[in-house]
Amino acid sequence: MNDERICMTIDASTRYDVVIGGGLLQEAGERIQALSGICKAVIVSDDQVFPLYGETLRSALEKAGIRVFSFVFAHGEGSKNLHVYEQLLEYISECALSRTDLLAALGGGVTGDLCGFAAATYQRGIRFVQFPTSLLAAVDSSVGGKTAVNLKNGKNQVGCFYQPSLVLCDTDTLWTLPEKEYRNGFAEVIKYGMIMNAPFFRKLAERPAREWIREVIAQCVSMKREIVMKDEFDTGERMLLNFGHTLGHGVEKCSGYTIPHGFAVAIGMAAMTRAAVQHGICSGETLQELETILERYDLPMNTEYSPKELADAALLDKKSTGSSIRIIVPECTGRCVIRTIAAEELIRWIV
Ligand SMILES: NC(=O)c1ccc[n+]([C@@H]2O[C@H](COP(=O)([O-])OP(=O)(O)OC[C@H]3O[C@@H](n4cnc5c(N)ncnc54)[C@H](O)[C@@H]3O)[C@@H](O)[C@H]2O)c1
């Protein structure tokens, strides 16, 4: 892997850098010391990622004079809940972390969302650094400050906007990422192309993303940066990033979270694009382009759940406001629009 580092600054309510490249875990100590005043850190990680990278991060932080603790939870979406969140807060408190200390989220999107929410709420907010190790976390969840845990009724029902102080995306960690998790991340990568960047979409279609993964991550982060800096709190343009997500969250919920997030988003993007064709909003060629790329990246496009089951599950999602719901609809490859529809109409968009 190329050693060159890519660095971008996100200018949101907190200004922070996103650094992408190999070997960043080993350098974490120096980079975190630059944040100043940190004496203790808790590494938050799941039981698949911690055995792979926990000691590397611990030793890098200790070399920088930081006292390190670790909190390891069972991997998977099932841990993104209030119970694990409470256990984490109790642990941080036992370690006597103060507001000048740090949480380090080492893992995928589940770890980042859970750790970020704990950081936002412990003692009214302590700093946290994202170390994304899944492709999905690298291209999407580690940047932009959405933190949350799930409730029985749906995804991300409790959470807040809280930006990290730094994102260190060590691309070497992707070497151990299982094939299925790569595919899971590619759904979010394809999403960026569909909502705002047709040339990027077509390049992904022509050349396997794994061959230029560092640049793929950098381009996705750059697109997310652009959107987050215009609409940090998700009141306008940022909603475009939810393309495929309203139905996707419904799919995840119906499956009892056995269908991973990216696969569910792929199903949601395909369903929404089929509906857009039926409603005369986009052409059959756009649908074909999307279906071709989803097939190429071995992503699902259909689900066994009925439109009624999916609509009911999706309407519990946080994006429904009273009797209306916002959906993201493609007009063509590289351009999506936000539409507000009556909640009962959603079922007509699941085809
Ligand atoms: N906050 C946001 O803006 C945002 C955006 C998109 C998705 N999300 C959330 O992200 C979550 C999905 O993220 P995810 O797909 O990363 O899930 P995840 O965190 O569960 O990681 C997926 C699996 O990959 C394993 N893994 C991660 N990195 C690895 C590595 N380098 N080597 C080996 N195994 C590794 C994990 O242990 C886990 O089993 C969902 O909860 C979703 O709601 C949040």
Q: Kindly state if the Cβ of 110 falls inside 6 Å of ligand 1.
A: yes
> Which domains does the chain show, CATH number per domain?
6-175 (3.40.50.1970), 179-349 (1.20.1090.10)
Angle made by CA atoms 329, 135, 179, in degrees to the nearest 5:
105
pTM of model > 0.85: yes
Q: What are phi and psi of 128, to 5 degrees?
A: -145, 150
Q: pLDDT grade, residue 4 (50/70/90)?
A: confident
* CB 140 less than 6 A from any atom of ligand 1: yes
Residues 22, 3: Cα–Cα separation, whole Å = 6
In the chain, % of residues over pLDDT 90: 93
Q: By three-state DSSP, how is residue 197 classified?
A: coil
Tell which atom from ligand 1 comes closest to the C-alpha of 156: 43
The residues near 86 (Cβ < 8 Å, ≥ 6 apart) are: none
Mutate which of 10, 50, 110, 252 for ligand 1 pocket (most atoms within 8 A of beta carbon)? 110
- Give the number of the atom of ligand 1 that is nearest the alpha carbon of residue 47: 37
User: 346: CA distance to ligand 1 center in Å?
Assistant: 28
- Amino acid identity of residue 338, one-letter, is I
Least-confidence region, from 131-135, 285-289, 340-344: 340-344
pLDDT at position 177: 98
Per residue in 228-243, pLDDT (tens digit) is: 999 999 999 999 999 9
pLDDT score for 1? 43
Lookup: tokens for 3: 């050693």
Collapse the DSSP code of 275 into the 3-class scheme (helix H, G, I; strand E, B; otherwise coil) and give the result. helix
For 95, the 3-state DSSP assignment is coil
Chain segment 113-137, per-residue pLDDT in tens: 999 999 999 999 999 999 999 999 9
**Beta-sheet strands, E only, within the chain:** 6-11, 15-21, 40-46, 67-73, 102-107, 127-132, 146-151, 154-161, 166-170, 320-321, 324-332, 335-342
